[in-house]
Structure formats: C-alpha cells, structure tokens
Amino acid sequence: MGREFATRVGLTVLFLAALTAAFARSPYEFDFSPIWAFRVRFVKGFLCTIGATALAYVVGLALGVLVAIARLSKNIFIRHIGDFYVEVVRGTPFIVQVAIAWWGIASQIEGVESRFIVGTLALGVFAAAYMGEILRAGIESVERGQFEAAVSLGLDRRQTLQYVVFPQAIKRMIPPMTGELIALTKESSLLFTIGVVEMMSVAKDMKAKDLATLEALIFVAVLYLVITIPLSLLARRLERKLGEGRRSGVDLL
Amino acid sequence: MIEFKGVSKRYGEVVALEDVDLVIDKGEVVVLIGPSGSGKSTLLRCVNALETPDTGTVTFDNRVVQRTDGDVSELRAQVGMVFQHFHLFPHLTALGNVMLAPRLARERDEAHARALLERVGVADKADVYPDTLSGGQKQRVAIARALAMRPKAMLFDEPTSALDPEMVGEVLAVMRQLAGEGMTMLVATHEMGFAREVAHRVVFMDGGRLVEIAPPDEIFSNPQRKRTQAFLSKVL
Ligand SMILES: Nc1ncnc2c1ncn2[C@@H]1O[C@H](COP(=O)(O)OP(=O)(O)OP(=O)(O)O)[C@@H](O)[C@H]1O
Ligand SMILES: [Mg+2]
C-alpha cells in the first residue's frame, strides 16, 4: 500500500509536469491573473456547487427510496409509476429538465424566485431516478434464499428486511451511491443555464467579458477535481473495506 | 404432528404435488426420496408456508398452515428448516446467525446458542463469518441456527447435496444425533444409507405423487411398485 501510494503520487506529479510543459510550449500566452479579480465569486460559486449537490443528493435519496419502493411494489399500478418516472427522467437530458423546471414551471408561479432552490430540486428529482435504481438493484441482489432462511426462522417481513436484507444490500449500494455523488457534482454545472451562480457561471461571466476564457475553464475544471477526486478515493476505500470489490484471483490482461 | 390432506400444487402446466396425503407423528423421521422434480422440495416447503398448496390443507400441531395467517411467523419459528445451499447470513458470525431469531424474539440466550454450536461440533467457529467456513461447517451452523428457536420439527431439503463427499458424513452425523434425541424430522435426501439407517418410514415420490410409503428395510429390500424398483435400481 505505502509503496504503491508513493508510486502513484510520483506518477501524478510526472503527468502534471508533462501537461504543464505541453501548455508552456503552445503559442497561447497563459495568463491566470484575471481570475484573481473574480476570487470572491469563485469561492461563492464553489460553495454553491457543493451546496446544490449536497441538497440535491439528500432530496434524491429521499425520493430515490420512494422510487425503489415503487419499483419493488407488488401493485402493478404503483410499480408502473416508478418505472415511468425512471424512464422519463433517465431518458431526457438534465439540461432540458432544468429548463422546463425553471422557465416552464417555476417562473410561471408567482412568489417562486429562488433559481437555486428550483435548480437544486430539479437536480434532486433527476438524481432520484438513478439512486432509486441503485437502491432497487441492491435489494434485488440479495438472493432469495436469504429471505427464505430468515422467514423460516420466524422473522416477520419487517425484521427480515431490517436485519437480513438491508444490511447486505447497503454494502453493495455504497460504492455506486458514492459514484452518484460524483456524477451529481458534475451535473450541477448545468444549473448555470437557469442563472444559478455556481462555479461554471463564473467562468461564463469571464468569457462574456472576454477575460481569460481558457484559463477560467481550466481553473473550474481543477475546482471540480478538488471535489471529485477525494470522493472517488473515498469510494474506492469503502469498496475495499466492504470486501465486495475484493480483487478476484483472475488478472484481466 | 404434521398432516397433509389432499394437497396439490401446480406451477403452470407442471405438477409439483398431486393429491398428497401423509401424516407424520411426533418423534418420527420420514425420509423423502425420488427423482429430481418429483416434488420433494415443494412438499417440505408447504409445511412452513414457503409454498401454498392450490388445494388441500397442511396442518402442523393441529393448526392449519396458512401463509396469510397473521401468526405464520410464530408457526415458522416452531419448524426448523435446513436448505441445500445453507443460506447462512453472510454479514453475521456463526454465533450471530444462531442468535438472530432468538434475539428478535427477546430470548437473548447466548448460552443456548453456544451450546447449539457445541452440539453440532463448531463451537470453535462461533466468532467467524460464514465465508471462511467449509461447506460441512456451514451446514452444521445452519442446523444450529434452525434449532435456535427450539422447534418442534425439522425440515431438511437435500442438506448434503451441495457438499464435497468428504463432508457429507459430518452433517449426517449431526442429523442422526438429532433423530436419536426424538426430533420429528422430514428429510429430502439422496443419501440412501442415511434413509436405511435412520428413517422410520421412507416415502418414494414421483411426478408429485407419493408412490410408495414403507419402513426402510421393506422399501429397499422389497419395493412393491415398479417405479420404486426402477428408481432404486438406478441409485443403489
Ligand atoms: N417456483 C417454481 N416455479 C415453477 N416451477 C417450479 C417451481 N418450483 C418447483 N417447480 C417445479 O415443480 C416440480 C417439483 O419441484 P421440486 O423442487 O419440489 O422437486 P424436487 O423433488 O425437490 O427436485 P430436486 O431433486 O431437483 O430438488 C419440478 O418440475 C419443478 O420444476
Ligand atoms: Mg428439491
């Protein structure tokens, strides 16, 4: 572990050096200094991105639980509502959904003014379709025999779910749920299209003023990586810890 | 203790059970034999309401077994079930597996759970997780788990069929011991030696029907029905 980690850090530094050298040789004159003038807005945008993502994640989780319950329901009507929701949300781009949510719906309603809240809710509704699927798949991945063994011992349905099915399902859900948080962080950049002041919108503003467009975009990319790389490392760690991602004996390639 | 009356069950076109009548007395060991698909599992699973007959009734201890019954959990707790593929809970230790049901029934009896592990010969494995156990050890833990609620009867669905040959003996030994203690047992198995030695009665099933029921020495040495003869000549 220690040795592999050191190698990884070394390689990363090497890649960064190579990238920097490549940029330095390009005819384009890099000038990151205009970004400094926008520093307060970048900090606000950064916090806005984190806030919108976190809130949307919570909304998505709550709705996602309902979606999973609906899709696992024995009642065909309820199940169909769940299927319909998932298909519609996953089958359309978020940029279209958020536009409909704001321009089409929220802005028509008197008293609704916060683009942040509307955008975040839209993001939550979007996330729920994916998270609901992760939750459903996690529960369905627990084999039928586990359920049968539990009820055969005299556990009722609730106890069986709580003590036998969920503990196993949750283990399998955690890695993809962390992945979903990463995806959501990136997806939140589309909130700039309805005027939410998150990171991407600051870069957009700089472009509008013809200031260091490429530099601003590179800077935004780095800010996203500051959020997503730790999450990605966390996901891998959890996966290893939970033993589900244990390396098989087979080495591919 | 367990009574089947006119029990039939189909899956679409497939007949799993056809007009089954059978009474199993308290303390009796009944072994079910028969070809694959003859309905042995289905018969066992009707006793603890994992399956519901299309027609007919199953009674356990003078109570009609019904899945929709609010007390079905209570009834299931009185019947231990052992599966071919163990179905141990992978997120719990061996002891945790045995303790789960009593713990939820507020009979927090760790000494009893440990005694059960001792009885099936895996006391030293109490604190390990199932994935580090051998097949034979898993099945013995599963038997201890099934005994945890102090059941009045035990159901075994091919408990040794998924085991490597060298581990079959240790599981059968535990079952033999249980039978010796007077446990009521209904066992589906391909282990003819066990049937011959332990069963009070052997039931030969085919196509969902109970083709022949007799004590082991009779059915093995002098089967009356052609289908029984044909089956036994293949497996013995
Ligand atoms: N859930 C099910 N859906 C459809 N058919 C089923 C189902 N369960 C059992 N069957 C069918 O019912 C018949 C009886 O099955 P059962 O499992 O009781 O037989 P068995 O004697 O236990 O066989 P085996 O020795 O293979 O375990 C078989 O033809 C089987 O294919
Ligand atoms: Mg079977």
pLDDT at residue A237, rounded to an integer: 85
- Residue where the block lists tokens 């589309």: A190
Examine the pLDDT at A152 and tell me if it is beyond 90: yes
Examine the pLDDT at A165 and tell me if it is beyond 50: yes
Task: Print burial letters for A132-161: b (CB count within 10 Å at least 16), e (below 16).
Answer: bbbbbebbeebeeebbbbbbbbbbbeebbb
Our CA-based measurement puts residue A157 at a distance from the nearest CA of chain B, in whole angstroms, of 9
For residue A46, give the 3-state DSSP assignment.
helix
pLDDT tens-place string over residues B38-88: 999 999 999 999 999 999 999 999 888 988 767 889 999 999 999 999 999
Of the candidates B186, B230, B195, which has an alpha carbon nearest to the alpha carbon of residue B211? B230
pLDDT at residue A248, rounded to an integer: 42
CA atoms within 13 Å, Cβ hemisphere of B24: 30
Of the candidates A184, A195, A226, A30, which has an alpha carbon nearest to the alpha carbon of residue A205? A195
By C-alpha distance, the chain B residue nearest A242 is B91
Point out the residue among A143, A148, A153 whose CB comes nearest to the CB of B100.
Answer: A153
Q: Determine the atom of ligand 1 nearest the C-alpha atom of B43.
A: 18
Point out the residue among A154, A164, A167 whose CB comes nearest to the CB of B73.
Answer: A154
**What is the pairing mode between strands B201-206 and B29-33?**
parallel
B87 with A171: Cβ contact below 8 A:
no
pLDDT at residue A1, rounded to an integer: 61
A123 phi and psi, to 5 degrees?
A: -65, -40
Q: Is B103 exposed, middle or buried (CB count within 10 Å of its CB: 0-12, 13-18, 19+)?
A: middle
Q: Rounded mean pLDDT of B183-188?
A: 96
Q: Rounded mean pLDDT of B92-103?
A: 94
By C-alpha distance, the chain B residue nearest A153 is B77
Our CA-based measurement puts residue B218 at a distance from the nearest CA of chain A, in whole angstroms, of 34
Cα gap A46→A65, rounded to integer Å: 28
Our CA-based measurement puts residue A59 at a distance from the nearest CA of chain B, in whole angstroms, of 29
Question: What pTM, to 2 d.p., does this model score?
Answer: 0.83
Residues of B in contact with A164 (CB under 8 A): 89, 100
For residue A200, give the 3-state DSSP assignment.
helix
**B79-82: strand order across its sheet:** B79-82, B153-157, B184-188, B29-33, B201-206, B209-214
Cross-strand bridge partners of residue B209: B206
pLDDT tens-place string over residues B129-171: 999 999 999 999 999 999 999 999 999 999 999 999 999 999 9
Element holding A146 (H helix, E strand): helix A144-152
Q: Which amino acid is at B217?
A: D
Cα gap B114→B124, rounded to integer Å: 10
Examine the pLDDT at B173 and tell me if it is beyond 80: yes
**Closest CA to ligand 1's atom 11:** B16
Q: How far is the CA of A153 from the centre of ligand 1 (A)?
A: 22
pLDDT band at B116 (very low <50, low <70, confident <90, very high): very high
Examine the pLDDT at A244 and tell me if it is beyond 70: no
Q: Which amino acid is at A145?
A: G
A154 with B83: Cβ contact below 8 A:
no
Examine the pLDDT at A218 and tell me if it is beyond 80: yes
Count how many pairs of residues, chain A against chain B, have C-beta atoms within 8 Å: 59
Examine the pLDDT at A243 and tell me if it is beyond 70: no
pLDDT at residue A207, rounded to an integer: 87
A156 with B73: Cβ contact below 8 A:
yes
Q: How far is the CA of B42 from the centre of ligand 1 (A)?
A: 7
Q: Rounded mean pLDDT of A150-173?
A: 93
For residue B153, give the 3-state DSSP assignment.
strand
Ligand 1 pocket list (CB less than 6 A) = B 11, 14, 16, 34, 36-42
Question: Which of A143, A152, A244 should be substituted to probe chain B, the one whose Cβ sees the most B Cβ atoms within 10 Å?
Answer: A152
For residue B7, give the 3-state DSSP assignment.
strand
Q: Rounded mean pLDDT of A244-252?
A: 42
Question: Which of A153, A160, A163 should be substituted to probe chain B, the one whose Cβ sees the most B Cβ atoms within 10 Å?
Answer: A153
pLDDT at residue B146, rounded to an integer: 96
Cβ proximity of B209 and B18 under 8 Å = yes
Neighbouring CB atoms inside 10 A of B11's CB total 10
By C-alpha distance, the chain B residue nearest A146 is B87
pLDDT band at B210 (very low <50, low <70, confident <90, very high): very high
pLDDT band at A246 (very low <50, low <70, confident <90, very high): very low
Query: Which of A73-82, A230-239, B214-223 shows the lowest per-residue confidence on average (mean pLDDT)?
Result: A230-239
Query: Which of A25-29, A221-225, A238-242, B64-68 shows the lowest per-residue confidence on average (mean pLDDT)?
Result: A238-242
**What is the pairing mode between strands B29-33 and B55-60?**
unpaired
User: In this predicted model, which residue has the larger pLDDT, B177 or A210?
Assistant: B177
Cross-strand bridge partners of residue A70: none
Average pLDDT, chain A: 90
Examine the pLDDT at A21 and tell me if it is beyond 50: yes
Reading the block at residue B204, the tokens are 């030969």
B79 with A152: Cβ contact below 8 A:
yes
pLDDT tens-place string over residues A31-47: 888 889 899 999 999 99
pLDDT at residue A228, rounded to an integer: 95
Examine the pLDDT at A13 and tell me if it is beyond 60: yes
pLDDT at residue A171, rounded to an integer: 87
Q: Roughly how many angstroms between the first and final C-alpha of chain A, as a whole number? A: 22
pLDDT at residue B69, rounded to an integer: 64
pLDDT at residue A235, rounded to an integer: 84
Average pLDDT, chain B: 93
pLDDT band at A78 (very low <50, low <70, confident <90, very high): very high
Examine the pLDDT at A247 and tell me if it is beyond 80: no
Q: Which amino acid is at A236?
A: R
Cα gap B222→A218, rounded to integer Å: 87
**Closest CA to ligand 1's atom 24:** B36
A154 with B77: Cβ contact below 8 A:
yes
pLDDT at residue A245, rounded to an integer: 37
Is A151 an interface residue toward B (CB < 8 Å)? Answer: yes
Is A168 an interface residue toward B (CB < 8 Å)? Answer: yes
Is A163 an interface residue toward B (CB < 8 Å)? Answer: yes
B100 with A163: Cβ contact below 8 A:
yes
